[in-house]
Amino acid sequence: MREVHHYVSGATSRGRTTRFADVYNPNTGEVSGRVNLAGRDDVIAAIEDAARAFPAWADTPPPRRAHVMFRFRELIRANLDELAHMLASEHGKVIADAKGELQRGLDLVEFACGIPHLLKGEYSENVAAALDVYSMRQPLGVVAGITPFNFPAMVPMWMFVIAIACGNTFVLKPSEKDPSVPQRLAELMLEAGLPKGVFNVVNGDKEAVDAILTHPLVQAVSFVGSTDIARYVYSVGSAHGKRVQAMGGAKNHMIIMPDADLDQVADALIGAGYGSAGERCMAISVAVPVGAETADALRERLTPRVQALRVGLSTSSDADFGPMISRAHLEKVKGYVERGIQEGAELVVDGRKLQIPSYEDGFFMGGCLFDRVTAKMRIYQEEIFGPVLSIVRVDNFDAALKLPSEHAYGNGVSIFTRDGDTAREFTRRVNVGMVGVNVPIPVPVAFHSFGGWKNSAFGDTNQHGAEGVRFFTKVKTVTARWPTGIRKGADFFMPTLK
């Protein structure tokens, strides 16, 4: 049986603890491996190793750091099939989806290849008599990332790629549910020329998280996961003097105006709501048609599409999505569906009884579709994180705008319309961090930033893009005057422009 250990100082490390957690194949429901769970001493060893590697890496010229990223990019491309199958076997997403995730991670690598430009400071000459001012961006030191199960490749690359390119050393604590891909990425970084100790991986649970959040050598922590844990990471990390960005849960809406192309909308909702079994923080889980006629027509188009969803093995080329991550999560999602029925929502399509022949123990669930969901229901208020889409009917634009704006989460929202004035008004007024116009999943490209509002994010800086560079660096400003032969005596006041 495969065992996944830590990766410290360029080599596999068994650590000092004997605690392990099972890793499952979601297709079969069987244990496919074990992952070593780090104790506090294991985490400290990884942090201290990263601290020893920091001075030399920070002094490495940015173009040389970029060269590592260029090589890392080519290694990912060369090993894409291996990485995709490894990812699918532990997470359950289909191969095409796994490759899409890796490509989005590659986008970040390509962005980081431009780090010499991204780290450029500012220079102002002669701001006062013979006085120049300039600024520079410098790395923080040892920084850390704590990442979720649903994107075991992309989300870590949101973090470690930018952080390392900026000159930091990095300790990653990935999800213990699908740990193999993060470790493989660390191996490829070493192969790309990254010095030992610059990128360490420790697997673990809350004990490992707490060790990261409280260790004085860790200067910053980046997190993606559920809102409750994001709030905890932010509060504990901040209390220990760390810079923290913590992305939480979501309840993403799609507003459908009466003038929208409903066939386009239905197709968009199928992909955005049910792709990756709904286990995406940017999944659309609430459809908000404006007007009864729009709602009826949308339901008519959605129902057969949901019923026709192809659920299958993660290795199947014909499957739209595969199994869920674990049996516990599968039962949790089914419990939400039952709660929705009890709350009075109309279950139009019920996918709970789906089974795959010969894979009855797999963590499979078909698509579910609710209609006549209201804002008071828990299936509307809480993140389900499964293949469940809810239709919430409203009468007008203002009511549609109010739903995402007043929801506790504020990650993503989308509007489908042919009217530019409506789209502009919506994007300007909606109280949500990422907005799509006729785009179902408004995940920004790598050179922009990712981040929600309200209970979807804690901290002042977003993930990746220029915001990521700012998060993983600190600004130093230098005010300089060189001897000019001019002497006028002592000054007892601040320098001014006069």
pLDDT band at residue 474, thresholds of 50, 70 and 90? very high
The per-residue pLDDT for range 285-308, each reduced to its tens digit, is 999 999 999 999 999 999 999 999
- Topology classification of domain 2-248+456-478: Aldehyde Dehydrogenase; Chain A, domain 1 (3.40.605)
Q: Residue 132: how many CA atoms within 13 Å on its side-chain side?
A: 10
Q: Helix, strand or coil for residue 473? A: strand
- The pLDDT of residue 128 is 87
Closest CA to 260 of 439, 429, 443, 387: 439
Average pLDDT over residues 303-320: 97
pLDDT band at residue 130, thresholds of 50, 70 and 90? confident
Among candidate residues 113, 166, 281, 368, the one labeled active-site is 281
pLDDT band at residue 488, thresholds of 50, 70 and 90? low
Largest CA distance in the chain: 90
The per-residue pLDDT for range 391-432, each reduced to its tens digit, is 999 999 999 999 999 999 999 999 999 999 999 999 999 999
The rounded Cα 464 to chain-centroid distance in angstroms is 10
pLDDT band at residue 469, thresholds of 50, 70 and 90? very high
The per-residue pLDDT for range 94-107, each reduced to its tens digit, is 999 999 999 999 99
| Beta strand residue intervals within 248-343, DSSP E | 252-256, 284-289
Reading phi first (left if > 0) and then psi (alpha if -120 to 50, else beta), residue 45 is in alpha
C-alpha to C-alpha distances, 424 to 101, 195, 416, 435, nearest whole angstrom: 30, 48, 12, 11
283 within 8 A of 58, measured Cβ to Cβ: no
Q: How many CB atoms lie within 10 A of CB 11?
A: 11
- The pLDDT of residue 35 is 97
pLDDT band at residue 498, thresholds of 50, 70 and 90? low
The per-residue pLDDT for range 235-265, each reduced to its tens digit, is 999 999 999 999 999 999 999 999 999 999 9
Q: Helix, strand or coil for residue 313? A: coil
Neighbouring-strand partners of residue 95:
none
Report CA Rg, the chain: 25
- The pLDDT of residue 140 is 98
- The pLDDT of residue 496 is 65
Closest CA to 165 of 116, 201, 122, 202: 116
- The pLDDT of residue 423 is 98
158 within 8 A of 41, measured Cβ to Cβ: no
C-alpha to C-alpha distances, 423 to 59, 257, 290, 399, 401, nearest whole angstrom: 48, 10, 14, 15, 11
The per-residue pLDDT for range 56-107, each reduced to its tens digit, is 999 999 999 999 999 999 999 999 999 999 999 999 999 999 999 999 999 9
The per-residue pLDDT for range 6-28, each reduced to its tens digit, is 999 999 999 888 899 999 999 99
Q: What's phi and psi for 221, nearest 5 deg?
A: -135, 130
Q: At 44, list the tokens.
A: 């400290």
Average pLDDT over residues 302-326: 97
Reading phi first (left if > 0) and then psi (alpha if -120 to 50, else beta), residue 193 is in left
DSSP codes joined into one string, 195-230: PTTSEEE---SHHHHHHHHH-TTEEEEEEES-HHHH
- Topology classification of domain 252-437: Aldehyde Dehydrogenase; Chain A, domain 2 (3.40.309)
- The pLDDT of residue 486 is 58
- The pLDDT of residue 129 is 84
The per-residue pLDDT for range 142-183, each reduced to its tens digit, is 999 999 999 999 999 999 999 999 999 999 999 999 999 999
308-304-261-442 Cα dihedral, nearest 10 degrees: -50
Q: Helix, strand or coil for residue 415? A: strand
C-alpha to C-alpha distances, 177 to 24, 45, 364, nearest whole angstrom: 8, 23, 17
The answer on pLDDT for 495 being more than 70 is: no
The answer on pLDDT for 491 being more than 90 is: no
- The pLDDT of residue 454 is 97
Active site residue 281: yes
What is the rounded average pLDDT for all residues in the chain? 96
d(CA 170, CA 84): 24
Q: At 113, list the tokens.
A: 């290849």
181-186-188-191 Cα dihedral, nearest 10 degrees: -160
| Reported pTM | 0.95
- The pLDDT of residue 322 is 98
d(CA 431, CA 83): 37
Q: Using N-to-C axis directions, what is the helix angle for 227-239 and 206-214, rounded to 10°?
A: 30
- The pLDDT of residue 18 is 87
The answer on pLDDT for 485 being more than 60 is: no
Average pLDDT over residues 303-325: 97
Closest CA to 461 of 221, 139, 301, 284: 221
302 within 8 A of 272, measured Cβ to Cβ: no
The answer on pLDDT for 131 being more than 60 is: yes
CB neighbours of 38 closer than 8 A, spacing ≥ 6? 6, 15, 17, 46, 173, 202, 203, 204, 207, 208, 211
The answer on pLDDT for 324 being more than 60 is: yes
- The residue ranges of every structural domain in the chain are 2-248+456-478, 252-437
d(CA 57, CA 196): 10
Where do we find the tokens 């100790």? 197
